[in-house]
Each structure stands twice: as structure tokens, then as C-alpha cells.
Amino acid sequence: MYQKSIFSYLSIVADSEIWVSISVDLEMGSSEEKVVAVIMVGGPTKGTRFRPLSLNIPKPLFPLAGQPMVHHPISACKRIPNLAQIYLVGFYEEREFALYVSSISNELKIPVRYMREDKPHGSAGGLYNFRDLIMEDSPSHIFLLNCDVCCSFPLSEMLEAHKKYGGMGTILVIKVSAESASQFGELVADPETKELLHYTEKPETFVSDLINCGVYIFTPEIFTAIQDVSSQRKDRANLRRVSSFEALQSATRSLPTDFVRLDQDILSPLAGKKQLYTYETMDFWEQIKTPGMSLKCSGLYLAQFRFTSPDLLASGDGTKNATFTGDVYVHPSAKVHPTAKIGPNVSISANARIGAGVRLISCIILDGVEIMENAVVTNAIVGWKSSIGRWSRVQAISLHKKGYFTFMSQVAVGDYNAKLGVTILGESVGVEDEVVVTNSIVLPNKTLNVSVQEEIIL
């Protein structure tokens, strides 16, 4: 920002001598190269697996460890030297992000802008769509992050590695178990040079236990690469008018020319061409597709706070404050009774009230929730303004016991959440005194006056 303002000032008043000296200055200090970050946030038609929580809030703004999901990659970006801008790209309406974007810009003293796509363009297409804005500051490097991954975002380390490799792009990768690898983009990297040799998205057979973390760094040449794919498509589309046989053969026939996927369309074809490299993280990494995963990821971020911002973690031993055990976040406006016991892995959002003798274990308590005396909440997400009665219990019991798997096969919609052992209450749900809610999902504005187990309450 600082450099930019000097530039514009100079362009009006400067004579050529000063101009030259300044620009030499910029070229010499390679550490002064500008970097921008683009975070793909998706849109309302995505993230349906995040219901019922995404019925109320764009998934990227759902709080993990007390901060909106997208806040975690943003604050990681903040730590990159010479970061000029952060762009959020998605197809949610502007107003949904307006408040957050302005407050985070002020807080971090970094301009954060939300750029709305008129429709999904794929992650590469979305990036390309806004290339003029992204290149406005003539950045030397562009970070591209998916919002729905949870990791420590070792971005500065990636940048160092990327410069050393000298390619067009570097992908953050992680080693996972062979069984789980197939849910992600699997890739093969040269063990010595770290060059990306092969890339395949969600393969049916095992290719590699290295997977794509959805965090990338590119040089501006990436735009040329995306443009190439796009124009090839256009050519093919033109050809299609000539040969309908070709059109039927083409696997990409239904894709519009401006829809460019990063994985299949860019990473796969460029693998093995000394343009893409990998940087392996040894830290945690998860994909946040479901509410159940969000609880796990909230815990991972809370654990990370121990190192990055310990002041955010609550402490107390039950004398003046409540008893806190493990990693707990409590919003300053929330009230927790001194006889309550909280943690591990609990985050309590704004204006929540936690009554006397309440026990919270592994849960996310959203804004304005009231939990009354002696209630127990464990392995659950309690939606905005919900109310939990005295001696009631909201819980999930992750089970390998008999009877449980029958339930999972019956409830197709909820099985993913159930598998992860999380009970979810939507917004303004009431749980009356002494009621037990076990392994269930309750949609907004319902009141439960009898106990439920393994149910989805519509």
C-alpha cells in the first residue's frame, strides 16, 4: 500500500530522475516483492453437507475456535511478508460478507476484498475471472487457498520453497493413510526435487498417499496457463459444430469455456513438466465438509492457539472463574458461571450464557445460546439462540457398538454427521428440562420436550 501511494504520487509530479531511482530501489530489494492471497469461499449452492448450520450463515463464516472459518487462512496470510491484498472469491451475495470483510480489514490493517462471481467458474476459472484486479498491484506471487481446509497454513515456508524450486506453482501436500487418500487429489512427487510428477483427482485405485491440501502459490504465469485451457476449449467448441462425433467423445463437452478446474485442467496436464512443485506439511490438515468435521477442526485450531495466540484461550480453576480444562475459547461477552466446568475443545461465542453447574465437553456454542443449570453438552454444536434446559443433556456418543450401524444405514442424510459423532442443534432450538438429545440433528426453531436418539428432527 505504502509503495503504491508513492507511485501514484510520483506519476503525477515526479521528474524522470526520481522515477528511475525509485524503481531501481524496488527491483533491488527482492524481499520487497508484493504478494497477494486469494481465498476461494464457494457459494450457497455448495456446502449443502454443512446443513443445518449453513441454513443460517455462509459456511466460511461459521466459527471455528471462536473465529469465522475463513479467519484462520486470513490470519495465516497476514503473516506473509509484503502481503498487499487478500481477495475472497465466491458466489455468495456481497452483503453476506460485507460486515466481516470491513471489520477484518480494519483489524489486520490489510485490505481484504470480497469479489463475487456471477456463477461458479471452477477454482482456476474464478481466479482467472478476477486476474485484472489481482494483478493490480503487480504481485510477484499469488497464494490461492481453499477456505474449507483446516491446517496450520505454513505460507511463508511455502513461499521460500517455491522460490528455491523456481517453478510456476507450488502445492501444499500431506501424507495420509492409503485408505483415506482416494477422497482427495492424489499426487506423486519426485522425492529429491519435489517436482509434481503426476496428479489425479479422487482416483478409484490407489495412486499415492500424498494428497493435495488445497493451498497453492503461483507466479502470475498461472493466468497464461488458465487462458490456454480456456482457449483450447473454445477451439474444441468451435470444432464441435463441425464434428458432432468429437463432441460426444469429449469428456469435457458439458463444461463451459470459462469453467476451469484447477486440479483436472491445470495440475494434471502440467505435472512432470518442471512447472509445478510440492511442499509437504508435517502439521495437521483436514477438510471441513461437514459440521462434524468442523468440531474436530475447531479443536485443532484451539490447540494451535497455544502457540500462536495463547491469550485467546480461557483459563480458570473454579475459584473466581469457571473451571477450564484443555483448550477453550470464550468470547468476552459470554457469561460462564463459576461453578461450570468447560473443556476440552469448547468454544463459546458472543452473548452465550452458561449457567451454574453446567458441563461442556467438546462442543461449539454459538451466539446467544443459553445453557441452564446442571445441563451437560458433549460432542455437539448448539445453534444460535438455542436454549438448553436444566439437567438436560445434548450429546453424541461415537459408537462401535451394536445397533449403531443399523442406524447409519437407515439415515442416509445424517450418516456422515452421525459417523463423526456430533449432535447438531440448528438456530433457536429449545431443549426442555431433563431432556436427552443423543446422536441427533435438529433443524431450526424446534422445541424438544421428549428425549430423542439417532433422529433427524425436521
Partner 1 sequence: MKALILVGGFGTRLRPLTLSVPKPLVEFANKPMILHQIEALKAVGVNEVVLAINYQPEVMLNFLKDFETNLGIKITCSQETEPLGTAGPLALARDKLIDDSGEPFFVLNSDVISEYPFEQMIKFHKAHGGEASIMVTKVDEPSKYGVVVTEESTGKVEKFVEKPKLFVGNKINAGIYLLNPAVLDRIELRPTSIEKEVFPKIAAEGKLFAMVLPGFWMDIGQPRDYITGLRLYLDSLRKKSSSKLAIGPHVVGNVLVHESAQIGEGCLIGPDVAIGPGCVVESGVRLSHCTVMRGVRIKKHACISSSIIGWHSTVGQWARVENMTILGEDVHVCDEIYSNGGVVLPHKEIKSSILKPEIVM
**Site residues (vs partner 1, CB under 8 A):** 339, 341, 356-357, 359, 361, 373-374, 376, 378, 390-391, 393, 395, 397, 399, 401-404, 434, 436, 438-439, 453
Residue whose entry in the numeric block shows the C-alpha cell 456418543: 397
Listed in order, strand segments (DSSP E) in 190-348 are: 196-201, 210-218, 276-280, 285-287, 323-324, 328-330, 335-336, 341-342, 346-348
Q: What 3-state class would DSSP assign to 230?
A: helix
CA–CA dist 90, 68 (Å, integer): 16
Buried b (16+ CB within 10 A) or exposed e, 137-153: bebbbbbbbbbbbbbbb
Q: How far is the CB of 44 from partner 1 (least distance, A)?
A: 35
CA–CA dist 432, 448 (Å, integer): 6
360 vs 424, which CB is nearer to partner 1?
360
Strand (E) or helix (H) holding 23: helix 16-28
Q: What 3-state class would DSSP assign to 299?
A: helix
Q: How far is the CB of 409 from partner 1 (least distance, A)?
A: 16
391 vs 416, which CB is nearer to partner 1?
391
Q: What is the number of other CB atoms lying within 10 angstroms of the CB of residue 173?
A: 25
436 vs 443, which CB is nearer to partner 1?
436
332 vs 403, which CB is nearer to partner 1?
403
Q: How far is the CB of 361 from partner 1 (least distance, A)?
A: 7
Instruction: Tell me whether strands 196-201 and 185-189 are parallel, antiparallel or unpaired.
Output: antiparallel
Helices (H), ranges, 110-177: 122-129, 131-134, 155-165
182 vs 339, which CB is nearer to partner 1?
339
Q: How far is the CB of 287 from partner 1 (least distance, A)?
A: 28
> Could you tell me which residues come within 8 angstroms of residue 64 by beta carbon, excluding any fewer than 6 positions away?
72, 150, 288, 294, 297, 298, 301, 347, 364
77 vs 435, which CB is nearer to partner 1?
435
- Report CA torsion sign: 169, 172, 176, 181: negative
Q: How far is the CB of 399 from partner 1 (least distance, A)?
A: 6
196 vs 435, which CB is nearer to partner 1?
435
280 vs 434, which CB is nearer to partner 1?
434
CA–CA dist 404, 396 (Å, integer): 12
162 vs 393, which CB is nearer to partner 1?
393
10 vs 456, which CB is nearer to partner 1?
456
Q: How far is the CB of 351 from partner 1 (least distance, A)?
A: 24
Q: How far is the CB of 328 from partner 1 (least distance, A)?
A: 16
258 vs 455, which CB is nearer to partner 1?
455
Q: How far is the CB of 407 from partner 1 (least distance, A)?
A: 10
CA–CA dist 322, 310 (Å, integer): 18
Q: How far is the CB of 343 from partner 1 (least distance, A)?
A: 12
Beta bridge partners of 145: 39, 215
Q: What is the number of other CB atoms lying within 10 angstroms of the CB of residue 183?
A: 12
Q: What is the number of other CB atoms lying within 10 angstroms of the CB of residue 239?
A: 12
Distances, alpha carbon 325 to alpha carbons 317, 346, 388, in Å: 8, 9, 22
Buried b (16+ CB within 10 A) or exposed e, 23-38: eeeeeeeeeebbbbbb
Q: How far is the CB of 438 from partner 1 (least distance, A)?
A: 7
Q: How far is the CB of 357 from partner 1 (least distance, A)?
A: 4
